[in-house]
Amino acid sequence: MELAERVHAAVAGIRARKIFWIGVLVATATVAVYLQVLGHTFVNYDDPVYILDNPYVAQGLSLSSLKWAFTTSYAANWHPLTWLSLFVDASIFGIRPAPFLFTNLLLHVANTCLLLGILRRATGTTWRSALVAALFALHPLHVESVAWASERKDVLCTFFGFLCILAYVRYVQLHRRPWYGLAVGTMALSLMAKPMLVTLPGILLLLDYWPLNRYGPAGETPDSCRAKVAPRNGWQRFVRLAVEKWPFLVLSIMSVILTLHAQSRGGAVRSFDRVSLVQRAQNSAQSYATYLEKAVWPRDLCVFYPYPESFRLPHTALLLAVAMGVTCLVVLWLRRFPYVAVGWSWYVGTLLPVIGFIQVGGQALADRYTYVPLIGIFIVVAWGICEAPVRWRRAATGATLVVLLALTMATWRQISYWKNSESLFRHTLDVMPYNHVANNNLGVQLLARNQLDEAFPCFVKAVAVKPTFAEAHANLGIVYGYRGNFESALEHFGIALRSNPRNADAWFNSGVLMARLGRLAEAEGHFRETTTLRPTDLQARYALALLLHGAGRDAEASEQALVILRLKPDHRDGLALLDKLRPQVPAGIGGFEIRK
């Protein structure tokens, strides 16, 4: 007996060392491919909102920023843990892109190792688990979640989500309540980073079926799974397991309520008047198919996929028929290939929050949305290859290595496009020339370098593709403003505000032009609207304070200056203005400038 125990311990030690070195190999390959991000810059798509122009991030970790993180719905989201992680980076390293991107990379590597550990503990297999982890780490569709500083929420949410799953697997295997409590706590942290994993209760139920096998009769439950379910009837076992997940479900419901509230307040949710239920269903069917296509053949990846103006009904019907066919096969193979049912359900279920039934933003789909869902497909592939007939297994292994090498090369190339805003959006336009967002953001980058003549046609193209595109009209207004054509500038700012009344930059810039034209009352209203939409906008508050001071309303000007200094205590213009706020000191508006 003692000899058997020693042999068992030795085998376990060998397996532990093997999985450790496999983890080291996959992590090293991931770092080698992604390390180029340390030479990248921030991009002008969300990074200004989340990091560059956010005074709380610039302030770093403090009591005021901590309070703000938990109470704000800034950027149409409630994700306090993401804000805290950005505050920590800013406090330690300042506002430099390399540290922010390196943290994203570290989290991606940690997620890869956690996924490897979860599958190894739950299934007892090593090479299949390693293949899933390698596909997760090196697939080009996952580049966006790592190489984009603003997507910190994606990798951070997944990190705590994987910790939740790992703790749950340990609870099932050991049946110790502290593991269950840890699973609930880490799920809460995951949802505080991003509400993507509101589907975690469903994932845990899937894992109960396979590989944990908690749905089977007690005699069929693996000895490693001590948290057995007593009832013999299948539905009774399912109900018992579902009831066990009630704390996770409560967290999901709370997260959905908070997210919808934040996104509604931020104007990010598109109404059914703008996107009908039929359009949403068609886009959802098309997106499920497109994600699978790009998972198999990851070409023409870009940062923004415009929402289609129309859909072909026969094409949508065909996609739905194929999906139903796949689902029927999954049901037929349920007992023989349980991993297929779990993998397919994982893919379909984890995409539900972002598939477009509740349409947030103007994108039809996004690469970052596949970060967790594709794990289900990777599980099907890995287990399917390893269960192939012996005579095909060697060829399948060789093909798998070739595919991994090809994916790694594609990932390296895709990361390079994220080097800066210009390379990112020029690549997007190579892939999709009529992409209005890419045209606009390339123009913004050129405008920032004072290349007005090069930027102007970019905005014109964006407006030509989408005449109601508020951001492009606002940027045309900026170009006209710098050229001294104030009337045309105000006309485009007006179109931008009619299309999107929540465009804070259009309110600010049109306010600047009105102030220069002597329309001070209208300018004041525009500056106030800017600060209402974006309370942390220091430039708008400073412009409003100058305007109030010039009108002799020093008490109101002082209030604005104090808000500026509360947000940024070392704001030089705010300090100078506060010193000057005396009735006898005049103030002009000549220093107002349109901002790019």
Could you give the maximum distance between any two Cα atoms of the chain, in Å?
97
Would you state the pLDDT for residue 426? 97
CA-only gyration radius of the chain, Å:
27
**CATH 1.25.40.10, domain 422-580, yes or no:** yes
Backbone angles phi, psi at 570, to 5 degrees: -100, 20
Residue 373's identity, in one-letter code, is P
Give the pLDDT confidence score for residue 325 in this predicted structure: 82
Q: List, as one string, the DSSP characters of 16-42.
A: HHHHHHHHHHHHHHHHHHHGGGGG---
341 contacts 333 by C-beta, under 8 angstroms: yes
0.85 surpassed by pTM: yes
Residue corresponding to tokens 């200004």: 48
Domain boundaries, the chain: 269-387, 422-580
Query: Tokens for 165?
Result: 């799953």
Q: Is 371 in contact with 154 (CB distance < 8 Å)? A: yes
Question: What pLDDT, on a 0 to 100 scale, did the predictor assign at position 217?
Answer: 55
Which pLDDT does position 549 carry in this prediction? 86
- Would you give per-residue pLDDT tens digits along the chain (596 residues)? 465 555 445 445 556 678 888 999 999 999 999 999 999 999 999 999 999 989 899 989 999 999 999 999 888 889 999 999 999 999 999 999 999 999 999 999 999 999 999 999 999 999 999 999 999 999 999 999 999 999 999 999 999 999 999 999 999 999 899 999 999 999 999 999 999 999 999 999 999 999 999 986 543 444 445 455 555 566 788 889 999 999 999 999 999 999 988 888 777 666 666 777 888 888 888 899 999 999 999 999 999 999 887 776 676 777 777 778 888 888 888 888 899 999 999 999 999 999 987 777 788 899 999 999 999 999 999 998 887 777 777 777 888 899 999 999 999 999 999 999 999 999 999 999 999 999 999 999 999 999 999 999 999 999 999 999 999 999 999 999 999 999 999 999 999 999 999 899 999 999 999 999 999 999 999 999 999 998 888 899 999 998 988 888 888 888 888 888 888 888 888 777 777 775 433 344 344 566 76
Distance CA 61, CA 81 (A): 12
- Looking at residue 226, what DSSP letter applies? -
Provide the pLDDT for residue 389. Answer: 74
